[in-house]
Amino acid sequence: MTRETWATRAGFILAAVGSAVGLGNIWRFPWITAENGGSAFLAVYLGIVLLVGVPGLLGMFVIGRRAKRNPVGALRSLSGSNRWGFAGGFLIFSSLVLISFYSVVGGWILRYFGESVVGLVTGHVRYFANPGAAFGAASAGLDAVAFHLVFLALAAVIIVAGIRGGIEIATKWMMPAIFTLLVGLGIWASTQSGAAEAYAFYLRFDVSTLQNNFFGLLGPAAGQALFTLSLGVGTMITYASYLDEDRSLPFDGATIAVLNTIVGVLAGLVVFPLLFTLGIEPGQTGTGAGALFVGLAGAFAQLPGGTLVATAFFAVVALAALSSAISILEISVSFLVDEYGLARRRAAGLVGGLVAVTGSVCALEPSVFGFVAGTLVDILLTVGLAVCLVFVGWVMGRDAITEFRNGAGSLGQTIATPWLFGVGVLLPIFLVFTLLTTFGVDGKIGFWPTVVAAVAVAIAAFVSLRSERSVV
C-alpha cells in the first residue's frame, strides 16, 4: 500500500501549526509566564524559540522527510541499526505518556465548553456560581474520565479518516477559526478596565528581572518552547514523513514557529487583561493546572457578556487541544501502520484503547496527573529532543545537510552547515544543561560546574556515537 502524503503545502503547514498550537499556548503559556515574572520570561522564551526551537524543529523535519517513516522506522532505517529503533521506541513511549494527561485536560475543556453553550441557551452557567469548587469537581474523578474518553474519541475519529481526509481537512478549518476567535477575544479584552495594567505586566521590557534571574528563566523557558513546538516525542518527524516533494524546510519551520508564537502571545493578550480587570494578580493565582481555569471562570462569571466570551474562549482552547491531540496519537498510529501493516482504523483503535486506560489513571489520580503533566513530560521531551538532535548531527551528518538543502533556496544553502553544528553540538549541550537544572544540580554544585558537567555528558555521547557510526 502506498503511504499517504499531504495534499498541499498549506495542508502540511497548518497541520504542524495545529500540533504546535494547543494547550501549551493557551493554558500553559500564560501561567508559566505569570509565574516567572511576565515580560522578562517572554523575552527569554522568544529567544529560545528562535535559537533552540526552530533549529530543533528543522532537525525533526529532516529526519522525517528523509526517512518517510514513523520515528522508530526512521531512526532505524537512517542509521541501519536496531539500537536506534529503541530510541524511536522511547519517543513513542513519551508520546503515550504525553497524550495520557493531555487528553484529560482536553476533557476538562470540552466540559467547560459544553457548560458554556448550555449557559448560552438557559442563561445559567454551572461553573459560574463557584469556580473553585466547579474545577475541583471537573478535574478528577469519574466525570473527568468520561470527558477524557469523549475527547479521545473525537481525536480518534479524525485520525481514522486519514492524513488528507482527516488531519489535513480538520486542521484547515480549525486553524483559521482559532485565529479569528482569538483576535476577536483580544479586541474584547482590550476594552476591559484592567487591560493597561495587564499589558504593562506582560509586555513592558523588564531589564532588571532579566538581569537578576536570567539563568533561572532558562529552564522553564526551554521546557515551554519544546512543549509548544511539539518537539521531543516524534510528532514533527511523523508529520514531515508525509511530505512528498522538496519544500523549503527552513521556510516552513519558520512559518510554523511564527504562527505558533503569535497564538501564544495573543492568548496572553486575552488572559491577562481579564485577570487584571478582576484584580487577580496573575503571579498570585498560584501554580498548577487549575489556577487559570479558576481565575478565568471567575472573570467570565463577573464580566458583561461573560457567557458568550467564555463559549468563544473554550471553543478556541478545545479546537487547539484537539488539533494537537491528533498529532500526538498519529505517532503511534503511524508506527503500527508502517511497521506492522495494520489498517489505520485498527491502529487507531488499539492506541485509543490503551490511552483510554492510561488517561483514566491520570483522571482518577491527581498525584499521577501532577507528576506526569509537570516534571515527567518536561524531562521526556528534553531527553527525546536531545537524542534526536545528536542523531541528526552525528549519525545523519552529511545526509542531514543534503536533506536540509533540498528545496531550501539560497539562504537555506548557506545556513545548512552552521545549522548542523548548532543542532549537533550546541543544542544537545544546552538541553543537557536544562535537564541538570531541572534536577536542581546547579543549586547543589553551582552554575559553572553544571555547565562543565553538561559539556562532559554531551561529549561522552558524541564520542560513543562516532564509534557507533563507523561500525554501521
Residue ranges that bind ligand PFF, judged by CB under 6 A: 19-20, 22-25, 98, 227-228, 230, 233, 235, 324, 327-328
Secondary structure, 3-state, 364-414: HCHHHHHHHHHHHHHHHHHHHHHHHHHHHHHHHCHHHHHHHHCCCHHHHHH
Residue closer to ligand PFF (CB basis): 39 or 235: 235
CA 468, CA 472: separation in Å to the nearest integer?
Answer: 7
Residue closer to ligand PFF (CB basis): 25 or 334: 25
- Cβ of residue 195: shortest distance to ligand PFF, in angstroms? 25
Task: Quote the Cα angle for 88-94-97, to 5°.
Answer: 150
Kindly give, in sequence order, each residue whose CB lies less than 8 Å from that of residue 229, ignoring residues fewer than 6 positions away. 20, 49, 53, 56, 57, 236, 256, 257, 260
CB of 381 within 8 A of CB of 232? yes
Residue closer to ligand PFF (CB basis): 79 or 230: 230
297-321 as b/e, with b when 16 or more CB fall inside 10 Å? bbbbbebeebbebbbbbbbbbbbbb
- Cβ of residue 382: shortest distance to ligand PFF, in angstroms? 12
Residue found by looking up cell 552547515 in the block: 417
Residue closer to ligand PFF (CB basis): 377 or 416: 377
Residue closer to ligand PFF (CB basis): 298 or 359: 359
Residue closer to ligand PFF (CB basis): 89 or 132: 89
CB of 416 within 8 A of CB of 408? yes
From the list 411, 45, 470, the residue with the least C-alpha distance to 220 is 45
Give kind and range of the element (H or E) at residue 18.
helix 9-20
- Cβ of residue 86: shortest distance to ligand PFF, in angstroms? 19
What is the number of the residue whose Cβ is closest to ligand PFF? 24
Secondary structure, 3-state, 63-104: HHHHHCCCHHHHHHHHHCCHHHHHHHHHHHHHHHHHHHHHHH
CB of 36 within 8 A of CB of 217? yes
- Cβ of residue 324: shortest distance to ligand PFF, in angstroms? 4
Alpha-carbon dihedral angle through residues 212, 215, 219, 220, given to the nearest 10 degrees: 20
Q: Kindly write down the DSSP assignment for every residue of 221-263, as one continuous string.
A: HHHHHHHHTT-SSSHHHHHHTT--S---HHHHHHHHHHHHHHH
Residue closer to ligand PFF (CB basis): 159 or 303: 159
- Cβ of residue 20: shortest distance to ligand PFF, in angstroms? 5
Residue closer to ligand PFF (CB basis): 113 or 188: 113
- Cβ of residue 200: shortest distance to ligand PFF, in angstroms? 26
Residue closer to ligand PFF (CB basis): 23 or 280: 23
Residue closer to ligand PFF (CB basis): 29 or 135: 29
Burial class (CB in 10 A: 0-12, 13-18, 19+), 367: exposed
- Cβ of residue 231: shortest distance to ligand PFF, in angstroms? 7
Please give the DSSP secondary-structure letter assigned to residue 152: H
- Cβ of residue 329: shortest distance to ligand PFF, in angstroms? 10
- Cβ of residue 442: shortest distance to ligand PFF, in angstroms? 25
- Cβ of residue 411: shortest distance to ligand PFF, in angstroms? 26
Distance, C-alpha 228 to centroid of its chain = 3
